[in-house]
Amino acid sequence: MFINGRWITTQNTFAVTNPATGEVIGQMAEGDRSHAVDAIEAAATALPDWSASTAYQRAAILLKAHQLMIASKQSLAELMTREQGKPLKAALNEVQYAADFLLWFAEESKRVYGETIPSARADQRFIVRYQPVGVVAAITPWNYPISMLTRKLAPALAAGCTVVLKPAEATPLCAKAVFEILEQAGLPAGVANLITVSDPTDIGHEFCTNPKVKKITFTGSTAVGRKIAQQAAAQVKRVSMELGGHAPFIVFDDADPVHAAKGASLVKFLNTGQACISPNRIFVQRKILEPFIHTLVARVNAMNAGNGLDPANSIGPLVNEAAVAKVERQVNDAVDKGAALHCGGQRLNQGDLSNGHFYAPTVLSSVDEDMLIYREETFGPVAAIIPFDTYDEVIERANDTNYGLAAYVYTQNLSTAMRAFEALNFGIIGINDINPTSAAAPFGGMNESGLGREGAREGLQEYLETKLGGFSIA
């Protein structure tokens, strides 16, 4: 762990394993609540000096961290593939994405502008300034174990906040590597602190109840997000959350079905389907259903599952056995209720895959509302295709969810595209675009998919308080 500028070891440790092989690849310090208290105290002590530093001073450190991350891109990606499982090409892309946040917020920190407001009184002046929220507690997920750290750390540090971060218990080695970069970049002691633990319950409770923590930022499941929000509410802490998704992918019959199917295959099976913006319900207008399915199945059949360090493999392991069991349960339920299975549909546990958590990339069609996969987020390599007939029908069905993170629309009709963009109740809409994300663009969801935004200027605002000064000059 990294607390107050020092690396901390503990007598107790927990093992970190490769989900593709079951091999133990490292041991991490087993923190406890007392370590969280120490880290929060260190962050609180460091806050006055860090918040008083200039935006240019903070930007210089973030820029140095960006340079170091780019220089370490290959080694970081290889570590990520061993620890998280994603193919090396995807890991390299993630490291670049993670570095983008450091660069973007290094620059954006210089643009936290205040304002003056005209008063109705001749003797009065209003001035608005923005200042850091304070100590931030950050909780990050395993599916994007480096970029989700910088997406929180970079804006918090740029704003002048100090941070205590708890990474996912499945991917702490990637978090350690990020903090090594921050240390090398010259971040002062106590400004960013790392707590690792195999059971996060006590740490999360300390984050929620310690009065020195002024904001909690969390990426993970909606169920856990609800609990954090409930506990944080007792002290009226600021909370921002990026939670689950149940993304619709809508293909209208004026779109090229081959092009749309290629897009669907790329985004659906990205990170083995373990992405919050992964499409879970693929709605295809009936007129082009057959060519769409034909193209998608052909592309999925060409995907190889295996260790992500082998460039021939595009499908990595799921995170653990529970994830495999969930995917298996959804697929079996769908097939039992009448869905057509075009490919996949089984665990992969033979030969080199026998010790990993693999499930075959799968395509289902004739999926309907009575199936679990229609309602539940899958977080796995299963494409569920649902036919539709009319615009009004598909918009209503797409919005029939408690989630609201991402949605995708394929159409060549500008009117249809604009109408769908405005009608879909999701925070991120890709129109003929499977990658509607960037460090410069706001990322976040509606409804039970989260609170607040990450990235862009909105992401920096999440870590700032608004202060008004009313000056009488009489």
Q: 474: exposed, middle or buried (C-beta count within 10 Å: 0-12, 13-18, 19+)?
A: exposed
Residue 242: active-site member: yes
Q: Provide CB contacts within 8 A for 11, sequence distance 6+.
A: none
Angle, helix 391-398 to helix 414-423, in steps of 10 degrees: 30
Which position has the token pair 């499982």?
85
DSSP 201-227: HHHHHHHHH-TTEEEEEEES-HHHHHH
| DSSP state letter for 167 | -
- Tell me the HSE value of 334 on the side-chain side, using a 13 A CA sphere: 31
**Is 17 strand, coil or helix?**
strand
Strand-pair partners of 131: 465
**Residues in the chain, total:** 474
Q: Provide CB contacts within 8 A for 225, sequence distance 6+.
A: 218, 241, 243, 450
Amino acid at 314: S
**Contact assessment for residue 357 and residue 320, using Cβ atoms and an 8 Å cutoff:** yes
Q: Provide CB contacts within 8 A for 332, sequence distance 6+.
A: none
- Tell me the HSE value of 459 on the side-chain side, using a 13 A CA sphere: 29
Residue 276: active-site member: yes
CA 156 to chain centroid: 16
Q: Provide CB contacts within 8 A for 121, sequence distance 6+.
A: none
Dig out the tokens for 217 from the structure.
Answer: 């930022």
| DSSP state letter for 305 | B
Q: 258: exposed, middle or buried (C-beta count within 10 Å: 0-12, 13-18, 19+)?
A: middle
Choosing from 276, 377, 448, 462, which is the catalytic residue? 276
* Cα angle 12-17-21, degrees, rounded to a multiple of 5: 155
Amino acid at 307: N
The CA distances from residue 30 to 4, 139, 415, in Å, are: 17, 16, 55
Do β-strands 135-139 and 213-219 pair in parallel, antiparallel, or remain unpaired?
A: parallel
The CA distances from residue 449 to 280, 384, 394, in Å, are: 14, 20, 20
Phi, psi of 339 (to 5 degrees): -70, 150
Choosing from 94, 242, 448, 462, which is the catalytic residue? 242
**Which residues participate in catalysis according to the annotation?**
242, 276
